[in-house]
Structure 1
Amino acid sequence: MSVDAREWGWEHSSSKGVARLVLLSIADRVPDEKCVAWASLASLVTRTNASRTAVRTALAALAESGELELLNYLDGPQRASVYRLPRAAAWLAKVAKATKDDPDAYVEPPTDSDPVPELDEEAETQLRRYGIWPKKGKESDPSQRNPTGAESDPSRRNPTPRRAGIRTVEGTDSAPQNRSEPKVNRKGSSSGAAVTSAGEWQIDPATHDWARQHGHLDRLGEEGLQAADAKWRAHRAAFKPRTAASWAADWRSWVAREHAPSRPKLYALPGSGSAPKGGMTLAEAHTAALLAALGEPTGEGAIAQ
């Protein structure tokens, strides 16, 4: 029957925009000719891809136009709201009556004067098979859970989350409050509230700019800075988790004390190893290196001369 209800919505409804999407979303759940269906606000927001305010405004507009009726005395699964499409029900009743004897009979277009079938007690009882029950049911009534377990069931989560202060209880901690802020060091590097290990901590843009502005990047070079970072992580691997701000301060202090990569020895002699000859002092080795560069004899004798 949802096909017939949707056809009425497409062909004869005067709704527009979000209101039309809401109407068609409800019509898609209509199970029979009574045109009664349940739908939660959260499911309508998801299906129409509209805001809660827009959906509420659309529901009010549809009720005012007479194309939608809220049945306050009925509950759907998980206490979802129950609606009826009265003009669609009148249209389907008109078509059924006209085609009862002749399936090919012509049916006049629907009008506002077409009578809407009433919902009697028997009809309301039949609605229970679709998970729609009276709000004040007897204690012996079975559970109001939708027996079909359809994918269109509303979520069990409260669509309107409880609030604590200015933050929702169900809000995610991983999303930064400022959408333009990059996700660094888990919960955001600017707040420094995240607790993480040294191995998981990442160099944020502010820390990298600090190394460049204070000359450490020029002093150590990119490879030297990476080596200092690796050494820092190795020494801090066993430390307890800290905040991102604490790790950043510790990392800066480590880099500031890090020595630049060592340069080649100046006392290396041509044709020999890097160590000076046995018995020579460092000054003698330097003198020998200079004499070798000038082509003069090297050794202790040359130095003595």
Structure 2
Amino acid sequence: MSSEAREWVWEHSTSRGTARLVLLSIADRVADEQCVSWASLSSLAKRTHASVSTVREAIDRLVHAGELEQLDDLTGPQRSTVYRLPLAAEAAVQTAEDEEADQALAERSEAAPALQISALRRCGIRPREVPESPARSRKPAGPETGRSRRKPARRSTGNRHPGVPETGTQNRSEPDLNRRYSSGAAVTSAAEWKVDPATHTWARQQGHLDRLGDQGLQAADAKWRAHRAGFKPRPAEAWAADWRSWIAREHAPHRPNRPAGHSKSSSAPSGMTLTEAHTAALLAALDEPTGTEG
């Protein structure tokens, strides 16, 4: 299933730079169709050759774009963070279902499917346990007899991830590449989102415009907006990726069959080839009276 999750990132994710590498690294550990994975900041930093702070910023951008969810109520192996690719999980469910059953498609829940914790345990992912701290015993009130001999514990300082730089970007051009994923990006609803020229060019270059036709593309767009009416507002990049995934899975409309009169060649009578049929017709025409006989 990790290959399908990576395929979704390559084909439909709008992330760029380190954010794209981080999403691919997380998708590489997806175990089933729920698109749930686990990873630590240090492991992601080593795999993407970026600093911990850069990886943390990339995760924030992916969460804001709606392409990644951080499941705080679950924990992975060695207490690593558990993530989910919601759009990839939704695409997997839509692909598995029968697309020709429009009624079943309309009645299906629009949200990503609920997690099955039992299926995730074999991957080492389990609910996070919060230990209950026992009540501290209170000392009886009384005057202090002196300063405590125990020295206060020193706070740990420095980088908690050895071998990985704490700050800094992967390269100097990275802030410019990822500027549009900043926290101030505007969000909109599916009904208000418009197909931008780049998305329309994609539909034409990928052959979906020729396959569906103008009317078929408009019908697929209307169906997509009807199914996304209840979704929360998202950035335009997230809507564009979801719209492309929908159009790529849409069936071409049924076209009427060509009338029999427009066939390239007429069928010959039973038991005769086409050449024999033409010869018989010519002989029959020669035997017919023309009115000029003596």
| TM-score category, normalised to shorter length | 0.3 to 0.5
Larger Rg belongs to: 1
The TM-score, its normalising length taken from structure 2, stands at 0.42
Q: Of the two structures, which has the highest relative contact order with CA contacts closer than 8 Å and spacing of 6 or more?
A: 2
TM-score normalized by the length of structure 1: 0.40
